[in-house]
Amino acid sequence: MPRGGSPQRELQHCCLPGAECQRTEQEGRARGFKITGDPRKLGFAQCHRTPGPLHPSALPPPVPNSQEFLSKFAAFQGTMNEPEFPSNFVKPVEKVENASVPDKLKFNFYIPSAAINQGSSVDLVLLPATTGDFGVMPGHVPTVAELRPGVVSVHNELDKDVTKYFVSGGFAFIHADSTTDVCAVEAVPLSDIDSDAVRAGLAEYTGKLASLQGKGDDYELAAAQAGVEVYSALNSALGL
């Protein structure tokens, strides 16, 4: 699969209206998707699952399965209080049964040092997954995707208010209630990237990779390859 190409060429999943869905109808039905609408006209229909009574449309709150641990701990507790668990501090999500597909996507975008988006309502998010770029709209199938270095486009309003970030990698989770969580290791707005530095970096790492071919240990080779991958992605993101 070619990496570092422009997002349009790599579109494998179709969640943009008008594009062609790569999934065949059979595949879709086998996975339990309800095919709504004409696949030729509404390409994304096959990727969308209509929430039925069997599908919980909200993520169940994390239950700290801690009874056993606490009972074992009690024997050695002495004067200490019971230990806390991280799930004790997470607000439980309300379960909404049989909810229809919401208008907008609830989008959370986290990096270690900040929460770039928290609970924002957006129309569309384009994500660069390792398997190819795909877009997320309300009603998307619950998915776990690993991200590669690439551009995340956040469409607050479809094609009108777009913010683009370059991410270095991470994970994206799309939940059944159309909440999308993107956890990236690093994300910068495209406007903040210096094109000269990108060109220089790409040249440097391509040179390094070329000189290391055949020799050099695995670590150096992997580091050079990673460098080339990131810088080519940056290159294509900036349109250089």
Partner 1 sequence: MLRRAGHSLGSRLCQRQGQLEPAVQGLKPSFAVAEEAVEGARDASTLLVKQRMKSVANIGKITKAMKMVAASKMRSAQVNTMNSRGIAEPLLKLLGDLPDAQGKKNVYVPITSDKGLCGGINTTVCKYTRASIKAEDGEDKEHSIVVLGEKGRSQLQRDLRASIHSTVADTGKVRVTFAQAAAIADGINTTEFDVARLIFNRFHSAISYKPTIATSLEKEAEAGGLLDQYEIEGPDRAELLQNLSEFNLASTLYNALMENNCSEQASRMAAMESSTKNAEEMLGKLTLTYNRTRQATITTELIEIISGATALAG
**Nearest CB to partner 1, comparing residues 79 and 213:** 79
**Exposure letters 155-182 (e unless 16+ CB within 10 A, then b):** bbeeeeeebebbbbbbebebbbbbbbbb
Please tell me whether residue 216 binds partner 1 under the rule CB under 8 A. Answer: no
8-state DSSP, 30: H
Strand pairing partners for 163?
154
Tokens of 145: 């995707």
- Residue 50, interface with partner 1 (CB under 8 A)? no
* DSSP-derived 3-state class of residue 115: strand
Closest CA to 11 of 194, 135, 141: 135
Kindly state the smallest distance separating residue 146's Cβ from partner 1, in Å: 5
53 binds partner 1 (CB under 8 A): no
Using CA atoms, how far apart are residues 117 and 106, in angstroms rounded to an integer? 10
Binder among 17, 19, 22, 181 for partner 1 (CB under 8 A): 181
- Contacts with partner 1 by CB under 8 A: the residue count is 54
- Binding track over 103-142 against partner 1, x by CB under 8 A: -----x-xxxxxx--x----------xxx---------xx
| Binding range to partner 1, per CB under 8 A, among 150-158, 178-186, 223-231, 232-240 | 178-186
Which candidate, 138, 148, 196, places its Cα nearest to that of 17? 138
The smaller minimum CB distance to partner 1, of residues 5 and 238, is found at: 5
The CA distances from residue 151 to 3, 41, 87, 122, in Å, are 12, 27, 32, 17
* 27 vs 157, beta carbon nearer partner 1: 27
Token output for 161: 């208010």
Q: Is 76 in the site for partner 1 (CB under 8 A)?
A: yes
Q: Shortest distance, CB of residue 224 to partner 1, whole angstroms?
A: 19
**Residues 180/124, Cβ–Cβ less than 8 Å:** no
x-marked contacts with partner 1 along 27-46 as a string, rule CB under 8 A: ----x---------------
Q: Note the residues at the interface with partner 1 (CB under 8 A).
A: 31, 56, 59-60, 62-70, 72-73, 75-78, 80-81, 83-87, 89-90, 93, 108, 110-115, 118, 129-131, 141-146, 170-171, 173, 176, 181, 183, 185-186
